[in-house]
């Protein structure tokens, strides 16, 4: 049978390119989990994804109610779940003030981490029940959260500290809107959320890989300097960032190539290892990369898991 894959944020950028790469193999039915239903439908059409290979379902990761509704709606489709790709993200590098999710969590961590954390936890049972030969849960990471790299050392650096802001609810009014309890910084909040994504993948691996056989993985697909992720950046940055990445850092990768990489992690028979953070070298060959000290801190991953469970109402 065809595999069934859910991709969050499949209405643009990396998620859309991945949806296309998987759908056009004819071996996958892609559930595009998107906050903007019409945009997703239009995107699928303009990318030439054929109707029988995809379904759009509404999902707003900035609302835990919406995450729960999405899971109910997915169940109504009556399809098994074989692969889940947590891809959607918001990035607010120029925001002066924090904004918040429906439940009042700072938006970047609330969407990128907490929304996906609840989604993945709620869908784990579906994946357990699937009889597919190679089940995978993929969470898109980033080099910017990895302080063992050059890009990860551009300030403000990711740092979750002792998680005191998260434990207090990231609410910004009576507590801090930042995980480490510090002052709001939109670029740092994004990087912190990506560290959470990478820690979550490893904690899933430790808790569930042996029991379920599901492969849990993360990846850095390269710098896709042209996606909507940078939509809130200043115009000069948006103008100069793609050529800078292409010609200076040479870390640039097209949306199409990045989509192929994520599709590989989701489906390639040679990338089944669990607990891995994948990257690609200059020849576009995949390799197991090292995470930074913080992004591979098992004790921090455990505490992040436990606090996140409380915040999303699972504990």
- Tell me which residues in 43-72 interact with ligand NDP (CB under 6 A): 59-62
Residues whose CB falls within 8 Å of the CB of residue 233, separated by 6 or more in sequence, listed in order:
93, 94, 241
Any contact of residue 142 with ligand NDP (CB under 6 A)? yes
Annotation says 208 is catalytic: no
Q: Which is nearer to ligand NDP, 140 or 196 (CB)?
A: 140
Site string for ligand NDP, 147-176 (x = CB under 6 A): ------------------------------
For residue 39, CA distances in Å to 5, 12, 33, 42, 44 come to 19, 9, 12, 5, 9
Non-local CB neighbours of 140 within 8 Å, separated by 6+ positions: 14, 85, 86, 87, 89, 197, 218, 219, 221, 262
Selected catalytic residue, list 54, 91, 132, 190: 190
Can residue 19 be called a binding residue for ligand NDP (CB under 6 A)? no
Q: Which stretch binds ligand NDP (CB under 6 A): 48-56, 123-131, 225-233, 268-276?
A: 225-233
Q: Judged by CB, which is closer to ligand NDP: 36, or 175?
A: 36
Name the residue whose CB lies closest to ligand NDP: 13
For residues 142 and 149, which CB has a smaller minimum distance to ligand NDP in the complex?
A: 142
Q: Is residue 229 a contact residue for ligand NDP (CB under 6 A)?
A: yes
Decide if 99 contacts 90 (C-beta within 8 A).
no
Residue 313 binding ligand NDP, by CB under 6 A: no
CB of 107 vs ligand NDP, minimal distance in Å: 8
Q: Which is nearer to ligand NDP, 36 or 134 (CB)?
A: 36
Encoded one letter per residue, x for contact with ligand NDP by CB under 6 A and - for no contact, window 104-133 reads -------x----------------------
| In the complex, minimum distance from the CB of residue 63 to ligand NDP, in angstroms, rounded to a whole number | 8
Q: Is 13 in the site for ligand NDP (CB under 6 A)?
A: yes
Task: Quote the least distance from Cβ 265 to ligand NDP, whole Å.
Answer: 12
Could you say whether residue 88 binds ligand NDP (CB under 6 A)? yes
Shortest CB 141 distance to ligand NDP, Å: 7
Residue 12 interacting with ligand NDP (CB under 6 A): yes
Exactly one of 87, 92, 146, 274 binds ligand NDP (CB under 6 A); which one?
A: 87
Restricting to residues 257-286, which ones interact with ligand NDP according to CB under 6 A?
none
Q: What is the dihedral of CA 144, 148, 151, 155, to 10 degrees?
A: 80
Residue of the chain from 57, 224, 295, 301 that contacts ligand NDP (CB under 6 A): 224
- Contacts with ligand NDP by CB under 6 A lie at 8-9, 11-15, 34-36, 39, 59-62, 87-90, 111, 140, 142, 194, 220, 223-225, 227-229
Give the catalytic positions in this structure: 190
């Amino acid at each position: 049978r065809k595999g069934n894959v859910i991709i969050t944020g499949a209405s643009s950028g990396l998620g859309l390119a991945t949806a296309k790469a998987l759908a056009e193999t004819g071996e996958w039915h892609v559930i595009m989990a998107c906050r903007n239903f019409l945009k997703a439908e239009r995107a699928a059409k303009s990318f030439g994804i054929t109707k029988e290979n995809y379904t759009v379902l509404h999902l707003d990761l900035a609302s835990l109610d919406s995450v729960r509704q999405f899971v109910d709606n997915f169940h109504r489709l009556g399809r098994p779940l074989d692969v889940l790709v947590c891809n959607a993200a918001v990035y607010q590098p120029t925001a002066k003030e924090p904004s918040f999710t429906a439940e009042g969590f700072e938006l970047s961590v609330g969407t990128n981490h907490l929304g996906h954390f609840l989604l993945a936890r709620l869908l784990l049972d579906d994946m357990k029940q699937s009889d597919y030969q190679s089940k995978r849960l993929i969470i898109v990471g980033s080099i910017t959260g990895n302080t063992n790299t050059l890009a990860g050392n551009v300030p403000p650096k990711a740092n979750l500290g002792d998680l005191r802001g998260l434990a207090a609810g990231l609410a910004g009014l009576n507590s801090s809107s930042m995980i480490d309890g510090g002052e709001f910084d939109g670029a740092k909040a994004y990087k912190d959320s990506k560290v959470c994504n990478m820690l979550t993948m490893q904690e899933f691996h430790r808790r569930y890989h042996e029991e379920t056989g599901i492969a849990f993985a993360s990846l850095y697909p390269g710098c896709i300097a042209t996606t909507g992720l940078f939509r809130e950046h200043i115009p000069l940055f948006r103008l100069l960032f793609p050529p800078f990445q292409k010609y200076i850092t040479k870390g640039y990768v097209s949306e199409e190539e990045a989509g192929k990489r994520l599709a590989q992690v989701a489906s390639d028979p040679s990338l089944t290892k669990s607990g891995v953070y994948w990257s690609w070298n200059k020849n576009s060959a995949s390799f197991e990369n090292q995470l930074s000290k913080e992004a591979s801190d098992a004790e921090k991953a455990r505490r992040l898991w436990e606090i996140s469970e409380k915040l999303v109402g699972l504990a």
